[in-house]
């Protein structure tokens, strides 16, 4: 298929990352089933399960900041090996023991080190690719994630019901396999301090701490804040959408939600390459604005389509297109505007603001549902996303003016 020419000519490390993401996400057996594991297999109460799941989410936030700092100041490879290795070892040990409390402790340790390693992967893409190629590289690793996610839960469900110990052990073994591929094919990519001047002035080295850098780069700070409006909407896929389907379709709601998630995965796998071939012609912020428009339409229509399941399918395809565009452009904008010696830390900060928006989105919408009902949620989501689109448009105008001014400063004729 000619459209796959999009991915030709990338460094071997990017193809290796693609393979690593497929293997890691295919083998991510434990965390998608964590709430069921805690309640059905380890006999924890629902309230205690909620606390444990919340803790596994919270520990990944400081872990990402620490991992980002370690990756920027020490080594990308060492960060990956340490984070992925400890996370895998902790999960492996869970398959050898029967003590519920010890299993929970090990799962939390694994969650921490999974968070520790994430900023490194984004930084490697930025290190290895020019600004013009980063969207393509990001889309390839994003595609790898979704290929793994599309198949992995089927295997995990079988293991969960029949071979619980193997659920942990095979999760760990896939992580170790990913580490081996990383070790063989991905060299150290951390930029050498002062080695060469960046052509993109936004990527030149800066000195100071993370807060100082973000204050010096208001476009980065504003982008992270504005993107929180999108995150608020996106989190409703796993929070408000299942409740909406249960309300509309009753006992069939859970099954229909599963169908929609399958449609989401299929859409990602089959449309990502085509969407990238179209959107790479536009500026990154233009694409982010488009993603918000697809979110607004896809989520907003849920409140007015009644019980028409075909329209739910249309809605899912629309917000999935928004997801594809957003996922393949957000990290690119962050990388293109980050000092090269702060790439991993700023990526971690971006993940942190996104996680905060997700947490806020679930708590606020939960209260909103209690007060106004589930149907009204989607008009709220529509409004929130539209605000995000407007703010991103303002940032785009600001960026465009800045780019023109920078061009004039470089051009003696101006």
In whole angstroms, give the CA distance from residue 407 to residue 335.
Answer: 20
* DSSP, res 41: I
Q: Report the CATH architecture of 210-413.
A: Up-down Bundle (1.20)
Is the fold of 10-188 the same as that of 210-413?
A: yes
Q: Are 182 and 20 in contact (CB under 8 A)?
A: yes
Instruction: Identify the CATH homologous superfamily for domain 10-188.
Output: MFS general substrate transporter like domains (1.20.1250.20)
pLDDT at 199: 60
Is the dihedral angle over the CA atoms 379, 310, 325, 358 positive or is it negative?
A: positive
Q: Which two tokens stand for residue 378?
A: 């989607």
pLDDT at position 362: 81
Q: pLDDT means per 10 residues in the chain (414 residues)?
A: 74 95 89 83 86 86 92 94 96 94 96 93 91 90 89 84 91 96 93 59 83 91 96 89 89 85 90 91 95 98 94 97 95 92 91 86 86 92 97 94 67 52
Residue 61 contacts residue 355 (beta carbons within 8 Å):
yes
Alpha-carbon span 350 to 355, nearest angstrom: 9
Q: Model-level pTM?
A: 0.84
Alpha helices in 280-329 (DSSP H): 284-300, 309-327
Q: Which residues of 109-128 are buried (b: 16+ CB within 10 A; e: fewer)?
A: bbbbbbbbbbbbbbbbbbbb
Q: Where are the domains of the chain?
A: 10-188, 210-413
Q: What is the token pair recorded at 273?
A: 């390459």
Closest by CA to 342, choosing from 122, 96, 12, is 122
Q: Is 160 helix (H, G, I), strand (E, B) or coil?
A: helix
Return the pLDDT at 56.
87
For 162, the enclosing helix (H) or strand (E) is helix 134-162
The pLDDT of residue 3 is 57
């Amino acid at each position: 298929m000619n459209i796959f020419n999009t991915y030709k000519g990338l460094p071997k490390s990017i193809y290796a990352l693609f393979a690593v993401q497929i293997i890691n996400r295919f083998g991510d057996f434990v965390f998608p089933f964590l709430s069921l594991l805690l309640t059905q297999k380890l006999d924890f109460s629902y309230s205690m399960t909620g606390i444990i799941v919340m803790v596994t989410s919270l520990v990944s936030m400081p872990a990402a900041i620490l991992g980002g700092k370690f990756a920027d100041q020490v080594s990308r490879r060492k960060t990956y090996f340490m984070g992925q290795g400890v996370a895998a070892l902790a999960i492996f040990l869970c398959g050898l023991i029967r003590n519920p409390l010890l299993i929970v402790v090990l799962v939390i340790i694994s969650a921490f080190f999974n968070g520790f390693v994430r900023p490194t992967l984004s930084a490697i893409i930025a290190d290895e690719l020019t600004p013009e190629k980063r969207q393509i590289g990001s889309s390839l690793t994003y595609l790898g994630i979704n290929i793994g996610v599309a198949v992995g839960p089927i295997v995990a469900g079988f293991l969960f019901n029949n071979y619980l110990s193997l659920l942990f052990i095979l999760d760990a073994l896939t992580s170790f396999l990913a580490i081996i591929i990383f070790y063989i094919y991905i060299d150290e990519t951390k930029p050498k301090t002062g080695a060469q001047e960046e052509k993109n002035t936004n990527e030149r080295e800066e000195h100071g701490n993370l807060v100082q850098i973000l204050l010096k780069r208001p476009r980065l700070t504003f982008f992270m804040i504005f993107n929180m409006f999108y995150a608020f909407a996106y989190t409703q896929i796993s929070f408000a959408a299942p409740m909406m389907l249960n309300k509309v379709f009753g006992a069939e709601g859970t099954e229909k939600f599963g169908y929609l998630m399958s449609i989401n995965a299929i859409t990602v796998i089959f449309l990502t390459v085509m969407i990238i071939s179209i959107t790479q012609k536009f500026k990154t912020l233009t694409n982010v604005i488009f993603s918000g428009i697809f979110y607004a339409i896809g989520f907003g229509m849920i409140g007015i389509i009644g019980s028409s399941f075909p329209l739910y399918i249309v809605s899912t395809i629309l917000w999935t297109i928004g997801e594809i565009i957003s996922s393949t452009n957000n990290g690119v904008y962050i990388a293109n505007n980050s000092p090269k010696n702060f790439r991993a830390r700023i990526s971690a900060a971006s993940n942190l603001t996104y996680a905060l928006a997700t947490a806020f989105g679930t708590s606020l919408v939960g209260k909103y549902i209690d007060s106004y009902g589930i149907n009204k949620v989607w008009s709220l989501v529509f409004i929130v996303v539209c605000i995000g689109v407007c703010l991103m448009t303002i940032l785009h105008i600001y960026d465009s003016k800045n780019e023109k001014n920078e061009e004039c400063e470089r051009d003696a004729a101006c």
